[in-house]
């Protein structure tokens, strides 16, 4: 926790930002929605192999309370678009947008657009961000080092069959925080625990040295997945972690994320099971060809094993599908391995978040801090025990903070649209 805080401080300071593993990227999101931004907004959400387009209607109900309605559609991104050129990727995104606008009969409208882009970006303004590096299996050439919003605008222009006003680009953690703020005005932290793992929070402007200004607060995208890339986690990393890292597409990078996120959890379990087989402690010392295959133990199996009611049927079925006929003891060992890996993930993640909220409390000079954390992501939402273990560690490590957790619904898209609404309102105020 203390090491995380140290790297966060280094990321915020001009003189140490470049070397810091936790980059603490300014997002230029300073305002939070106050319930007065009305209208139709389009949101895009790109952060994994699926891409989402969403129409968000922000209005008022009969009691003049704020209400948000959404319609969305998911599109799968083909492998060649993920690993080809930036032009191919953004042309595909524009094609999906065109399809969505056709289906909802709104192609004639020029709507404000919020873009959730869940990769490391150095923002120069709320609608301008330079992609630092791809993660999560994306490798589209010609994007790194370029303005992502510019690439999207160029692709829309190339199509020429619709117009769009791109007013804001945000990270998924930021969008989650803003979406949850709509439910709870104390929400000043956003976190994702899914394929990847990251967090953002509202930091005092005077400590964000990469941006001019002293007053108020700005949302900072920690990009904490890279914590450990300078050796901060060495004594916590086991032989299995080293194998996962060495066989990944980005060896030596995102080491904290590799201890926590859903992308790696199943493979860590498989490597531990293989070690137990090799030491003749599991499956009579014999591993099936499937169990020997990298990626064969999917992260969803971890959730399913830990959801077993005690009759071991679920565990038996999963292990059988991997080419083994397990004994009762084998089933219990598989469960223990899953529990150990997922518990470590929850504890590591919890320690990081406790570091963030404790730092916020100290910054604000408060004896006690009441705060809400908005959370999204498949591991947090779908694993049967992760939430409970994670919450307990955060509460244990941040005893002077009263922390509530709120699960985001449609966070990434809705949050991006709400940030667009804020950006539009601010632009109107500036021109008046």
| DSSP assignment of 280-336 | TSSGGG---TTTTSTT-S-HHHHHHHHT--SS-HHHHHHHHHTT----HHHHHHHHH
pLDDT of residue 430: 38
Average pLDDT score over residue span 278-305? 97
| DSSP assignment of 186-250 | TEEEEEEESSSEEEEEEEEGGG-TTS---SSEEEEE--GGGTTTTSTTGGG--HHHHHHHHTSSS
Instruction: Give the residue, 126 or 356, on which the prediction is more confident.
Output: 356
- d(Cα 404, Cα 187) in Å, to the nearest integer? 9
Average pLDDT score over residue span 417-425? 68
| Alpha carbon distances (Å) from 332 to 277, 300, 306 | 14, 18, 10
pLDDT of residue 180: 86
Structure tokens at 43: 């949101």
Percent of the chain with pLDDT over 90: 65
- Digit-coded pLDDT (tens) for 61-110: 665 555 677 788 999 999 889 889 999 999 999 999 999 999 999 998 88
Catalytic site includes residue 172: yes
Grade residue 255 by pLDDT with cuts at 50, 70 and 90: very high
- d(Cα 254, Cα 314) in Å, to the nearest integer? 32
- d(Cα 239, Cα 268) in Å, to the nearest integer? 10
Instruction: Give the residue, 116 or 259, on which the prediction is more confident.
Output: 259
Average pLDDT taken over every residue of the chain:
90
Bridge partners, residue 128, by sequence: 125
Range in 150-164, 180-194, 286-300, 418-432 the model is least confident about: 418-432
Range in 52-66, 155-169, 276-290 the model is least confident about: 52-66
- Digit-coded pLDDT (tens) for 126-143: 888 999 988 877 889 999
Average pLDDT score over residue span 14-31? 90
33, 231 contact by CB (below 8 A): no
Catalytic site includes residue 103: no
Residue 288 has pLDDT above 90, yes or no: yes
Residue 249 has pLDDT above 90, yes or no: no
- d(Cα 25, Cα 11) in Å, to the nearest integer? 8
* 302 exposure class (CB count in 10 Å sphere: 0-12, 13-18, 19+): buried
Average pLDDT score over residue span 15-41? 81
* The one catalytic residue among 45, 91, 127, 172: 172
pTM to 2 decimal places: 0.87
Residue 345 sits at the vertex; the CA angle it makes with 263 and 82, to the nearest 5 degrees, is 15
Average pLDDT score over residue span 345-357? 97
176, 375 contact by CB (below 8 A): yes
* The one catalytic residue among 136, 245, 308, 330: 136
């Amino acid at each position: 926790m203390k090491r995380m805080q140290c790297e966060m401080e280094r990321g915020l300071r001009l003189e140490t930002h470049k070397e810091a593993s936790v980059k603490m990227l300014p997002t230029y999101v300073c305002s939070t929605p106050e319930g007065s931004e009305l209208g139709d907004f389009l949101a895009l959400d790109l952060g994994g192999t699926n891409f989402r387009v969403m129409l968000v209607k922000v209005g008022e109900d009969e009691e003049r309370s704020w209400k948000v309605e959404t319609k969305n559609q998911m599109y799968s991104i083909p492998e060649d678009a993920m690993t080809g050129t930036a032009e191919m990727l953004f042309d595909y995104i524009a094609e999906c947008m065109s399809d969505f606008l056709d289906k909802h009969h709104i192609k004639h409208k020029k709507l404000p657009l919020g873009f959730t882009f869940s990769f490391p970006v150095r923002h120069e303004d709320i609608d301008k961000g330079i992609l630092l590096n791809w993660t999560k299996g994306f490798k589209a050439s010609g994007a790194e080092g370029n303005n992502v919003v510019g690439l999207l605008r160029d692709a829309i222009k190339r199509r020429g069959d619709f117009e769009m006003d791109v007013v804001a680009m945000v990270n998924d953690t930021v969008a989650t925080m803003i979406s949850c703020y709509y439910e709870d005005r104390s929400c000043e932290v956003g976190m994702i625990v899914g394929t990847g793992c990251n967090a953002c929070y509202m930091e005092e402007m005077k400590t964000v040295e990469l941006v001019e200004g002293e007053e108020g607060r700005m949302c900072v995208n920690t990009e904490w997945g890279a914590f450990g890339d300078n050796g901060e986690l060495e004594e916590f990393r086991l032989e299995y972690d080293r194998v996962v890292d060495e066989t990944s597409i980005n060896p030596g990078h995102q080491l904290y994320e590799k201890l926590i996120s859903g992308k790696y959890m199943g493979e860590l379990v498989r490597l531990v099971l293989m070690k137990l087989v090799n030491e003749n402690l599991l499956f009579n010392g014999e591993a099936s060809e499937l169990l020997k295959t990298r990626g064969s133990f999917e992260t969803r199996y971890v959730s399913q094993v830990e959801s077993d009611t005690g009759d071991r049927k679920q565990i038996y079925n999963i292990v059988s599908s991997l080419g083994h006929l397990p004994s009762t003891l084998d089933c219990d060992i598989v469960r223990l391995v899953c529990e150990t890996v997922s518990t470590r993930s929850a504890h590591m993640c919890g320690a990081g978040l406790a570091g963030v909220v404790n730092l916020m409390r100290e910054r604000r000079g408060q004896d006690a801090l009441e705060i809400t954390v908005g959370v999204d992501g498949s591991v947090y939402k779908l694993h049967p025990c992760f939430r409970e273990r994670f919450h307990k560690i955060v509460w244990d490590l941040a005893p002077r903070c009263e922390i509530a957790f709120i699960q985001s619904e449609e966070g990434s898209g809705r949050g991006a649209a709400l940030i667009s609404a804020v950006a539009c309102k601010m632009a109107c105020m500036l021109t008046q």
